């Protein structure tokens, strides 16, 4: 169990698992004193130790305060490996490749909606953005030729097809497209699954929320992000759907079978990894980038559908609504980036699994609009609770390979959450809290209730105190669409 892992506090919000045995680097966890006992309760600290054994890993095996048990890597885990001789692990990205969040602002004030109008809006959004397991139908079935273009172009394909404007790309990580995507590395099964799910929310912890900006912590940063108190914003949390899941599943099986060939002796087979320069490593990167592009396109289409729905229900034109994209960030991705390690600038492959990039002011990869503020960081909370907008800070580049937390982090399993929700009218409870929920099924609602998660306020506070990212605004939900 995680409680058996030796861990030492080395700074006010930083804990270290000393390097021992097959570990190539130490483990490092960001958490408060109060959080560490909860973190010890599952196997996630063991996973931090296991990740530290990856071939070519540099610096430390890192975990953010929203850490919890995952497949191979803990969710909330970050690891950088040498780009020329290190390994890449599909478990270090996860099954939902480029699961991420986008936030759109508006000129609408929450006080102007009213409950009847909000109900109408949530009904319309529920109809416009398909949700639930296997959901389909936001756009017509793609042709195989269009899918191939989409996998290379990402959100740019959606823009060219009329789903949004080029300005959206300027506010999307990587401009909504990762170079090096290779459709030929993707299985036929994955491609088939991808033909019908563009513009769909999916299930699990994915959501579309209509939110209100309840607090601005930094007026200058809030203004730069286009946010003000009382404002209506929309947060969309989704990923690459069945397409990305299939890619992860395909490559985990393929890479597991080759571990003896690589000569990798790993403490957990779920860490299955391939050399970055191997046939399997290069193929996984090419396929993973296709899934990342699929996810950006997926969220772009959903944003377009959301804009259309707001305009129809509120009777507003685009110029009055001004539903501009603030930013779109990845949560599950592996990227080749330049980072300074021990005073030397090195090319590395950064795995971020349940972690968000948090580049600071002045970084050349931060979009021009945010070059002076630092990259926007979007941190969703649990359903019915608050979410946060943050900004990357300089310590992130020195300590976490430019990474920060991605959400609240589960504190109980989905099974336990469902058990504790039995006999409760969850939708009524939410409405009594002022939140209107529209969901395909009650199972997901039960799994995603706030009591199943840590308090996201504590999570973002740790990262702010550590100098990794700082709070800009707090958002509270008004209405939620769930799968």
pLDDT of residue 2: 44
pLDDT of residue 389: 98
* Range ranked top by mean pLDDT from 36-40, 259-263, 438-442: 259-263
Angle at 77 between CA 71 and CA 83, to 5 degrees: 100
Structure tokens at 170: 């300027």
* Number of C-beta neighbours around residue 384 at 10 A: 22
Mean pLDDT of the chain: 93
Q: Given the residues 171, 363, 406, 451, select the one marked as catalytic.
A: 406
pLDDT of residue 1: 44
Which positions ≥6 away from 100 have C-beta within 8 Å? Answer: 173, 237, 238, 239, 295, 296, 299, 328, 329, 330, 331, 332
The whole domain housing 249 covers: 2-482
Q: Which residues of 399-410 are buried (b: 16+ CB within 10 A; e: fewer)?
A: bbbbbbbbbbbb
363 is catalytic: no
Structure confidence by residue, pLDDT tens digits, 14-43: 999 999 999 999 999 999 999 998 899 889
Q: What are residue 388's DSSP bridge partners?
A: 379, 474
Torsion, Cα 220 224 229 235, to 10 degrees, reads -140
Q: In terms of DSSP bridges, do strands 344-353 and 332-341 run parallel, antiparallel, or are they unpaired?
A: antiparallel
Domains: count for the chain: 1
What's the CATH code of the domain at 181?
3.90.1860.10
Report the pLDDT averaged over residues 167-183.
Answer: 97
pLDDT-derived band at 429, boundaries 50, 70, 90: confident
Report the pLDDT averaged over residues 436-459.
Answer: 78
Q: How much of the chain, in percent, has pLDDT values that exceed 70?
A: 94
Among 47, 10, 53, 54, CA closest to 30:
10
103, 240, 296, 380 from 302: Cα distances, Å: 12, 13, 10, 17
The mean-pLDDT minimum among 24-28, 103-107, 410-414 falls in 410-414
d(CA 459, CA 305): 32
The sign of the CA dihedral 170, 358, 204, 215 is negative
pLDDT-derived band at 132, boundaries 50, 70, 90: low
């Amino acid at each position: 169990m995680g409680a058996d892992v030796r861990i030492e506090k080395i700074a006010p919000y930083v804990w270290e698992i000393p390097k021992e045995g097959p570990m190539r680097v130490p483990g490092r966890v960001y958490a408060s004193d109060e959080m560490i006992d909860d973190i010890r309760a599952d196997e996630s600290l063991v996973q931090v130790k296991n990740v530290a054994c990856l071939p070519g890993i540099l610096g430390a095996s890192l975990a953010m305060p929203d850490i919890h048990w995952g497949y191979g890597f803990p969710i909330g885990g970050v690891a950088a490996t040498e780009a020329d001789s290190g390994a890449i692990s599909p478990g270090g990205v996860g099954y939902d490749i480029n699961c991420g969040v986008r936030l759109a602002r508006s000129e609408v004030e929450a006080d102007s909606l009213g409950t009847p109008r909000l109900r109408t809006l949530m009904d319309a959004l529920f109809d416009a953005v398909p949700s639930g397991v296997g959901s389909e139908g936001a756009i017509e079935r793609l042709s195989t030729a269009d899918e191939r273009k989409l996998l290379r172009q990402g959100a740019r394909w959606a823009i060219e097809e009329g789903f949004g404007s080029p300005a959206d790309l300027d506010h999307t990580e990587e401009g909504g497209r990762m170079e090096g995507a290779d459709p030929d590395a993707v299985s036929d099964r994955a491609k088939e699954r991808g033909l019908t799910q563009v513009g769909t929310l999916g299930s699990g912890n994915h959501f579309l929320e209509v939110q209100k900006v309840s607090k601005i912590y930094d007026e200058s940063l809030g203004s730069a992000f286009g946010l003000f108190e009382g404002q209506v914003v929309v947060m969309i949390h989704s990923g690459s759907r069945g397409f990305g899941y299939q890619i992860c599943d395909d490559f985990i099986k393929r890479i597991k079978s080759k571990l003896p060939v690589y000569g990798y002796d790993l403490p957990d087979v779920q860490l299955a990894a391939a050399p970055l320069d191997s046939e399997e490593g290069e193929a996984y990167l090419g396929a993973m980038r296709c899934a990342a592009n699929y996810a950006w396109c997926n969220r772009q289409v959903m944003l377009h559908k959301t804009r259309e729905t707001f305009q129809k229900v509120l009777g507003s034109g685009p110029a009055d609504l001004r539903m501009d994209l603030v930013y779109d960030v990845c949560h599950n991705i592996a990227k080749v980036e330049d980072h300074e390690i021990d005073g030397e600038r090195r090319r590395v492959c950064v795995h971020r699994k349940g972690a968000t990039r948090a580049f600071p002011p002045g970084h050349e990869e931060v979009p021009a609009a945010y070059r002076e503020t630092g990259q926007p960081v979007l941190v969703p909370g649990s359903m019915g609770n608050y979410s946060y907008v943050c900004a990357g800070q300089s310590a992130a580049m020195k300590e976490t390979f430019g990474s920060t937390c991605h959400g609240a982090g589960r504190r109980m399993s989905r099974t336990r959450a469902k058990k504790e929700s039995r006999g409760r009218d969850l939708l009524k409870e939410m409405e009594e809290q002022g939140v209107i929920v529209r969901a395909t099924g009650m199972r997901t609602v039960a799994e995603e209730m706030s009591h199943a998660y840590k308090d996201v306020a504590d999570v973002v506070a740790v990262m702010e105190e550590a100098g990794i990212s700082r709070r800009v605004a707090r958002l509270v939900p008004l209405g939620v669409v769930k799968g």
